[in-house]
Amino acid sequence: SPSMMYAKGSKRDALMGGLLVPGFDERTCASRYSSAMYRKNTARSPCGHLVKRLREQEALQRRCGPGTAAYRRAAERLGSRRNGTAGAGDEGCKYLVLVPYRGLGNRMLAMASAFLYALLTGRALLVDRGESLADLFCEPFHGTSWLLPPEFPIKNLQDLTGEAPESYRNLVQSDRPGTSVSDLPYVFVDLDHGCTYHDKLFYCDDERHFLHRAPWLLMRTDGYFPPALFLNPAYQDELDRLFPRKDSVFYLLAHYLLHPTNKVWGLITRFYDSYLKDSDERLGIQVRVFDGDTPFKHILDQITACTSQERLLPEVVEQEPSSFPAPAAAAAAGARSKAVLMTGLNSWYYENIRSRYWQSPTATGVVVRVHQPSHEEHQLSGSTTHDMKAMAEMYLLSMTDAIVTSGWSTFGYVGHGLGGLSPWVMFKPENLTTPDPPCRRAVSMEPCLHGPPFYDCRVKRGADTGKMVPHVRHCEDMSWGLKLV
Ligand code: GDP
C-alpha cells in the first residue's frame, strides 16, 4: 500500500527535501509520496529559496485559481473582452494559460517551463487539459486546480498561433505601431519550436515593465525554454537564487509538478516490480526513430555500437562454455544480472537485442534480461491509453541506473531528466547511416531547447547564445539548441 511505502523511507525522502508538501490524500495520488522510494538516490535537493517560493506560488494558486472570486471576475473581464487596463484587478491575480501540444514528452517539457515562468512572474498557472491530461497527471497544488475550467471564455485554444492580433509578435513588431498591451484582453505568446524572431523577443522581455499590464497571458509551447530565461537579465538574479546548481532545473520542476495518476502509477510499478526490481543493474535504451515507423538496420547498428563502445552492455561470445554450472551453483557464484528496459514504437530493435543474449553467452557471464513494455507502432498522441503508456515508459526509463537516448527526442529528455541521469545520446542519423561516433555522454541531465533565441538581450543584437554564460551551452544532439549544464 502507498502508506507502507511511505513508511519505508524517511519522511524527508518522500517529500524530496521539502520539494513536496505533506497533506494531500495519499490514496488519490499514490505516486506523489512513493515515487522517491523507487529511486536509489535523490540526484538533487531543492535549496531553501526554491522551497519558499514554491510555497508562495501554492498560496497564489489557491488565492487566484478556479473556483475563487478572483478567478470568476478575471474570467468575466476576459469574456466581455474588456481591455486589460484594470490590470491585475483588486486581488492582484494574473494568469498564465498554457496550451501544451504535440507528443507527451513535448507537453511535459512545456508544463515544466510554463510553471517556472509563472513562478518568476507571479502568475497562477492554468493548463489546457486537451484530451488526456487529467487522466495522466495528479493535481500538483493542494486545495486548488491547475486545470483550465471548461467554461474558459476563449475557445479553440489549440488553434492560436503567432498570427493572432493578440500575439506578442504583433505587439513588438515595429512596423505595426499603435497596439499596446493595455488595449488587449489577453496577450498570446507563441513559443513553438519554429516561432519567429519577433515571437522570441519574449525571451528578452522584462515582465515588470511591459507584460505585467496583461492580466491574462496565453502561451503555447512544445519545448523546454528555461535555458532562454537564464539568458534574460531580468530573471538572472532570481534564477541564481532558485537554482544554485543549474543542471537540475528540470529534475526539480518535474518532480514537483508531474505526478502520474494512480492508473499510470499502476502501469509503472507493476512493470518495475515484475521486470526491473530484482536485477543488479538496470539500463534504459530509448529508441525514437524520426525516419519512419519501419525497422532500420542502421539504427540497430547504432544501438549495438553505442552500448558496446561505452561498455553499457556485455559482449557476447560464439563458444558455449565448456561446462554449464548447475543453477544453484550459478546463483551461488553470484552471476550478476542486468535488466535492459527498451522503449520504442517498434519491437524489432528489442527482438534483436533480446535474441542476441539468448543465442549467445556473454563473455563475463552476466545474465542479460531484455524487456519492452509496449510497441504502439504509430504515434497516437491525445489518445488516453496511448499517452498513459508513453508516460509510464518515460517514468520507467527514469528508474534505471544508466540510460541511452535518441537525440532530438523530448520523450528521451523526460526519461533522463526525471531520472537525474546524464544520458548517452545517440546522434540523429543522417542519410539512413549509422553516425560515427554513434553516441556521446551528455554533460548534464537537462533537456535541450530546440528553438532557442539567437539574440543578446543586453546589447540588443544577434549573438551566439550558447556562448554567453557558462551554464547555458549548445546541446550534444542539436548544434543550435541550448541546454543548462
Ligand atoms: P518526441 O517526438 O520524441 O520528441 O517525443 P514526444 O513524447 O513528444 O512524442 C512522441 C510520442 O510518440 C509519444 O508521446 C508517444 O505517444 C509516442 N511514442 C514515441 N516513442 C514511444 C515509446 O517508446 N513508447 C510509447 N509508448 N510511445 C512512444
Judged against a pLDDT cut of 90, whether residue 256 lies above it is answered with yes
| Most informative mutation of 411, 418, 425, 449 for ligand 1 (most atoms within 8 A of CB) | 411
pLDDT-based confidence at residue 12 (cuts at 50, 70, 90): low
Residue 332 confidence (pLDDT): 59
Q: How far is the CA of 6 from the centre of ligand 1 (A)?
A: 31
Residue 207 confidence (pLDDT): 82
**What is the C-alpha separation between 224 and 446, in angstroms, rounded?**
9
pLDDT-based confidence at residue 404 (cuts at 50, 70, 90): very high
Look up residue 199 and give its amino acid.
Answer: D
Find out if CATH 3.40.50 is the number for domain 262-318+334-484.
yes
Q: Which atom of ligand 1 is nearest to the CA of 106?
A: 8
Partners of 402 in the β-ladder: 283
Residue 149 confidence (pLDDT): 97
Provide, rounded to the nearest whole percent, the portion of the chain with pLDDT above 70.
Answer: 92
* φ, ψ for residue 142, nearest 5 deg: -75, 135
* φ, ψ for residue 165, nearest 5 deg: -60, -25
Q: Which atom of ligand 1 is nearest to the CA of 412?
A: 3
The CA R_g of the chain, rounded to the nearest whole Å, is 24
Mean pLDDT of 183-192: 93
Q: What is the DSSP string of 208-257?
A: GGTGGG-SEEEEEESS--HHHHTT-HHHHHHHHHH-SSGGGHHHHHHHHH
15 with 22: CB under 8 angstroms? yes
Look up residue 341 and give its amino acid.
Answer: L
Q: Which atom of ligand 1 is nearest to the CA of 105?
A: 7
The residue nearest atom 7 of ligand 1, judged by CA position, is 105
* C-alpha cell read off for 66: 478556479
pLDDT-based confidence at residue 401 (cuts at 50, 70, 90): very high
The residue nearest atom 13 of ligand 1, judged by CA position, is 103
Q: Which atom of ligand 1 is nearest to the CA of 381?
A: 16
Q: What share of the chain is helix, strand, coil (3-state, %, to 5)?
A: 40, 15, 45
- For residue 414, give the nearest of 291, 260, 308 by alpha carbon: 260
**H helix and E strand count, the chain:** 18, 14
- For residue 364, give the nearest of 304, 311, 328, 301 by alpha carbon: 311
Look up residue 64 and give its amino acid.
Answer: C
User: Measuring CA to CA, how many Å separate 269 from each of 8, 27, 31, 377, 430?
Assistant: 16, 15, 9, 23, 37
**What is the C-alpha separation between 200 and 205, in angstroms, rounded?**
9
Q: How far is the CA of 104 from the centre of ligand 1 (A)?
A: 7
The residue nearest atom 26 of ligand 1, judged by CA position, is 390
Q: Which atom of ligand 1 is nearest to the CA of 408?
A: 4
Which runs of consecutive H residues, i.e. helices, occur in 272-408?
297-309, 327-332, 348-359, 384-398
* φ, ψ for residue 25, nearest 5 deg: -70, 115
pLDDT-based confidence at residue 8 (cuts at 50, 70, 90): very low
* C-alpha cell read off for 131: 484530451
228 with 199: CB under 8 angstroms? no
Annotated domain spans of the chain: 39-257, 262-318+334-484
Residue 66 makes CB contacts below 8 A (sequence gap 6+) with: 126, 144, 145, 147, 148, 149
pTM of the model: 0.95
Residue 347 confidence (pLDDT): 97
Residue 321 confidence (pLDDT): 78
Q: How far is the CA of 411 from the centre of ligand 1 (A)?
A: 6
pLDDT-based confidence at residue 3 (cuts at 50, 70, 90): very low
110 with 100: CB under 8 angstroms? yes
Ligand 1 pocket list (CB less than 6 A): 102-106, 288, 343-345, 374, 376, 379, 381, 386, 389-390, 393, 409-411
The pLDDT mean for the chain works out to: 92
User: What stretch of H or E contains 134?
Assistant: helix 133-136
Helix-helix angle 384-398:104-121, to 10 degrees: 70
Residue 5 confidence (pLDDT): 44
Judged against a pLDDT cut of 50, whether residue 1 lies above it is answered with no
The residue nearest atom 3 of ligand 1, judged by CA position, is 409
**What is the C-alpha separation between 38 and 32, in angstroms, rounded?**
12
Q: Is the peptide bond before 437 cis (omega within 30 degrees of 0)?
A: yes
- Residue-wise pLDDT for 142-184, tens only, equals 999 999 999 999 999 999 999 999 999 999 886 666 678 888 8
Q: How far is the CA of 376 from the centre of ligand 1 (A)?
A: 9
* C-alpha cell read off for 15: 517529500
Q: Which atom of ligand 1 is nearest to the CA of 380?
A: 16
Query: Locate cell 560515427: which residue?
Result: 436
| Most informative mutation of 379, 388, 406, 450 for ligand 1 (most atoms within 8 A of CB) | 379
User: What stretch of H or E contains 113?
Assistant: helix 104-121
- For residue 448, give the nearest of 424, 479, 418 by alpha carbon: 479
Residue 2 confidence (pLDDT): 41
In angstroms, the first-to-last Cα distance of the chain is 38
The residue nearest atom 5 of ligand 1, judged by CA position, is 411
Q: How far is the CA of 59 from the centre of ligand 1 (A)?
A: 34
Judged against a pLDDT cut of 70, whether residue 32 lies above it is answered with yes
> Strand 95-100 to strand 216-221: parallel, antiparallel, or no bridges (unpaired)?
parallel
Judged against a pLDDT cut of 70, whether residue 419 lies above it is answered with yes
* C-alpha cell read off for 337: 544480472
DSSP secondary structure code for residue 272 in this structure: I
Q: How far is the CA of 405 from the centre of ligand 1 (A)?
A: 12
